[in-house]
Chain A
């Protein structure tokens, strides 16, 4: 049924097919536009370059991590350790930068480490059949505990300015925005047009059918975890370089924010359905809501309750829509 819903849309007319394929992405985009128009009318300062920059640039790392998470969920798995991983990667990168390693090494070595760690997780998941939520729950403890006991939660400061890649600007726009946009586009094309991308959908939609069709399911799972490690690594570098300090602890609840972005963006938790574009849009939507509440003088204490209600509303709408279409 999961695979069929996308395939079935092929028989409809062009615009309808587009709508059913990208319904969730359109809803999220619409929500962002409405928020900008409404809040911008009420408080024009909301539309200032500075605010828009801080909304998007400050949360680009979440969007980048959500790209990899979407791939993981599309493949029928989940990773609850991504928040801890980003904390570990940021700390390794910052430590390398202040210890005098060449800047390119301080960027690339942590990303490579991230890929290796997650390829290891993927190997465990693929060959032992232990559910990914269990393996990554264990990884969460290992990474988080390891990080805090290694660093004692100390802060990293005085990083060389040429290391701060997220703060580089081109035409006045922070580089993290370019990273987010370019990586989303590349990932979207990759998922749609390459064999490996389609294999991810196939494995998540119906692993037995994927095997019968000659796909190496194990290798696909390991590959998608390694890819997820790549995006988490890049997210970690952006996170490490967007502020002048790195607090070497795990950002609280980051894994849930990333997973939520993927789900709101239309990735089905059952696997096989979704796109990486939606999760990026959803990450922007969250940041916009947070900023809008501040500009509307709503107490920041209610931010999470509003987010929770939104998630619930989106999920319920999605379930009702899916039931009607089936």
Chain B
């Protein structure tokens, strides 16, 4: 696997994103304004945070469908810990994030200990975690958070939305881990050939446990930001986010078969999706029409990638 092959998809995608950005700027003069772009950054932060560990998950050849449910469960637990249990809000936040991380660890445990295929394991926990959120909350929403709490979802640092800073820091960390550390190389090795990785002494199960736990952790962080942004807690939060996240990751060139993919690609994929959503909405396409475009772009980009490199197809 030489680097030029690895970056081919990202290059095509970056080109596509550039064209889309210019096209959208030409369609609407409101698109390329700092205010709009920063606001779009705010809106893509939650999906972005979840997409980072999802890149790792898919690089190992796995998938995690339960991230949206973990997000919902964490949001509910945050509200319940604070309002019903009576914990101080900072402690409730930490406790909820710990629970979200444990939910992710649970996925990893089922997948590594019982050898359940990730698709099935997380399909089950998708229902389970969402069910727990619904059962615990009984469809009651939690409101009335103190003013300082809204900083995480609505505040700004140096003129840039707070959660965008979080996303940027996490993105840099994730790309360093995946690209430059032994852990990152282990991640690729597990995805490329799990048996070979095992025989060459890589701790396959531990690697996976860390990655699925990280998916739980960042979904939980996204939940706190989500609750802070919309000022209320509901059990259906994050429903369907897994499909948005997977679309971003796959569009970013990560192979669903594992062993291939970069964090940079994922970020470009997410930017393209968010730019299309926003730009088309600004130029008068209704919200649901943009979903059609995103679906078409997903298939088109993967198709283009496959056609540019027919040899890759057989993997």
- Seen from chain A, the residues whose Cβ lies within 8 Å of a Cβ on chain B are 78, 80, 124, 128-131, 133-135, 137-149, 252-253, 256, 259-260, 263, 269-270, 299, 301-309, 311-312, 315-316, 319-320, 323
A308:B306 contact, CB within 8 angstroms: no
Contacts known (A138-B299, A307-B127); A312 close to B306, Cβ less than 8 A: no
**Contact status B303-A260, CB under 8 Å:** no
Judging by beta carbons under 8 Å apart, are A149 and B131 in contact?
no
Contacts of A301 in B (CB 8 A): 134-135, 137-139
B114 at the interface (CB under 8 A from A): yes
- Nearest chain A residue, comparing its CB with the CB of B115: A319
Q: Does B239 contact A252, Cβ atoms closer than 8 Å? A: yes
Residue B289 lies at the interface, judged by CB distance under 8 Å to chain A: yes
Q: Which of B239, B243, B257 has the most CB of A within 10 A?
A: B243
By the criterion CB–CB under 8 Å, are A128 and B298 in contact?
A: no
* Contact pick for B292, options A142, A256, A315, CB 8 Å: A142
Task: Beyond the given A129-B306, A305-B131, A308-B132, please list 15 additional residue pairs across the A-B interface where CB-CB is below 8 A.
Answer: A124-B299, A129-B313, A135-B302, A141-B295, A141-B296, A145-B290, A149-B292, A259-B123, A263-B120, A301-B138, A304-B128, A312-B125, A312-B128, A319-B114, A319-B116
Tell which of B135, B246, B294, B313 touches A128, judged by Cβ atoms closer than 8 Å.
Answer: B313
The residue on B at minimum CB distance from A307 is: B127
Complex contacts, A308 vs chain B, CB 8 Å: 124-132
Q: Give which listed residue, B125, B131, B307, contacts A306 with CB less than 8 A.
A: B131
B257 x A131 contact (CB < 8 A): yes
Most buried by A among B131, B256, B289, B296: B131
Taking the nearest CB of chain A, how far is it from the CB of B299, in angstroms?
4
Q: Is the CB of A320 within 8 A of B256?
A: no
CB distance from A238 to the nearest CB of B (A): 24
Q: Is the CB of B246 within 8 A of A315?
A: no
In chain B between 274 and 315, which residues have their CB closer than 8 angstroms to a CB of chain A? 286, 288-296, 298-299, 302-303, 306-307, 313-314
Closest 3 CB pairs of A and B: A308-B128, A305-B131, A141-B295
Q: How far is the CA of A144 from the CA of B295 in the complex (A)?
A: 10
The smallest C-beta distance from B264 to any residue of chain A, in angstroms, reads 20
Specify which chain A residues have a CB less than 8 angstroms from the CB of B116 in the assembled complex. 315-316, 319
Q: Is the CB of A144 within 8 A of B291?
A: yes
What residues of chain B lie closer than 8 Å to A305, measured between beta carbons? Answer: 127-128, 131-132, 134-135
Residue of A with least CB distance to B106: A312
The reply to whether A138 and B298 contact each other, CB–CB distance below 8 Å, is: yes
Q: Smallest Cβ distance from B112 to chain A, in angstroms?
A: 12
Chain B 240-251, CB-CB to A under 8 Å as 1, else 0, gives 000100110010
- Measured between beta carbons, the chain B residues less than 8 angstroms from A269 are 117, 119-120
In the complex, chain B residues 215-248 whose Cβ is within 8 Å of any chain A Cβ: 239, 243, 246-247
For A80, the chain B residues whose CB sits under 8 A away are 243
